Amino acid sequence: MKMKSDQAIKLLNDEGLRLDGRRLDELRPLKIEVGVLKNADGSAYIEHGKNKIIVAVYGPREVHPKHLTLPDRAIVRVRYHMAPFSVPERKSPAPSRREIELSKVIREALEPAILVEKFPRTAIDVFIEVLQADGGTRCASITAAAVALADAGIPMKDLVAAVAVGKINGKIALDLNHLEDQYGEGDMPVAMMPGLKTITLLQADGIFSKEEFKQALDLAISGIQVIYRKQREALKKKYEKMIRTVTGGGS
């Protein structure tokens, strides 16, 4: 639930700009790097505004404990964790209620993209470590995790990209930061597979009218397209640089 006492906080100035100087439909600066960890099968680092998140993917690998094994598909396990220093007030490193829930929603946002039936009896582990948080970490985590999964060579139908939209001072805004999330009237994280035009995560907090919801979803989809392009650029950059192709196809 959003606090009612938010009238006093002005999140938009007279020119319609937000606290960090962005327009309503503007994303925060985004940077994605692929393959930042040597030990992991796949990894990615994302800087989405002030969010800094590192993701490692292991697998497909043998399942431990053994009884979790599924005979017809791989299991996907996600651990979302915030570093104690990721927020101004020290966060206990033990997994909180919120982190456990986020691990679940992120897993469910990624799973539809992964071809889990290609690797029966195995596990795909995704470790998400939030180094610095500033609102919208679940979306940034999904964006980075999709890239890390592709880097790990896990077969996928499409990448998954995510962004949050929300309502601040009665206006629909894209990509909320921590302050806007805290003092705004609502926020709505959206994740989707842009190529398939399929939404894999949609949550909402606060009150949206039918029109506002439609407008918010459209805004999120347009933001996701930009993020998707960045994901693709990051992957291409790594692999096209690594492989210098000399000859045409052949075996």
Partner 1 sequence: MTPRRRKKIPVLLPGDKIPSIKGTLGPGVTRREDGKNVSVFVGQLLVQEKGKQRVIQVAPLKTAYIPMPGDIVVGKIIEVGVTSWSVDINSPYTAILPLSEVFSKPTEITRINLSKSLKVGDVIIAKVVAFDLTRDPVLTIKESKLGKVPRGTYLELTPLEAYVFYRRIGEEKFVETVKQKYGCELFVGKNFRIILIGESLEAERNAMHEIISTIRKYVKV
Instruction: Enumerate binding residues for partner 1 (CB under 8 A).
Output: 41-42, 59-62, 71, 113, 115, 119-122, 150-153, 155-159, 193, 195-197, 232, 235-236, 239-251
**In which residue are the tokens 């993917």 written?**
57
CB of 148 to partner 1, least distance (A): 12
CB of 228 to partner 1, least distance (A): 9
Helices 137-151 & 210-242 angle (0-180, nearest 10)? 30
- Cis peptide bond upstream of 60, omega within 30: yes
CB of 232 to partner 1, least distance (A): 6
DSSP-assigned letter for residue 18: B
Contacts of 86 (CB under 8 A, 6+ apart): 130, 131, 132, 133
And the tokens for 199?
């939404």
Q: Which is nearer to partner 1, 123 or 168 (CB)?
A: 123
Which one, of 16, 18, 25, lies nearest residue 215 by Cα? 25
What span, in angstroms and rounded, lies between the C-alpha atoms of 140 and 80? 12
CB of 42 to partner 1, least distance (A): 7
CB of 74 to partner 1, least distance (A): 8
Q: Which is nearer to partner 1, 87 or 226 (CB)?
A: 226
Q: Which is nearer to partner 1, 113 or 142 (CB)?
A: 113
Pair 199, 191: CB distance under 8 Å? yes
Q: Which is nearer to partner 1, 65 or 71 (CB)?
A: 71
SS3 240: helix
Q: Which is nearer to partner 1, 97 or 241 (CB)?
A: 241
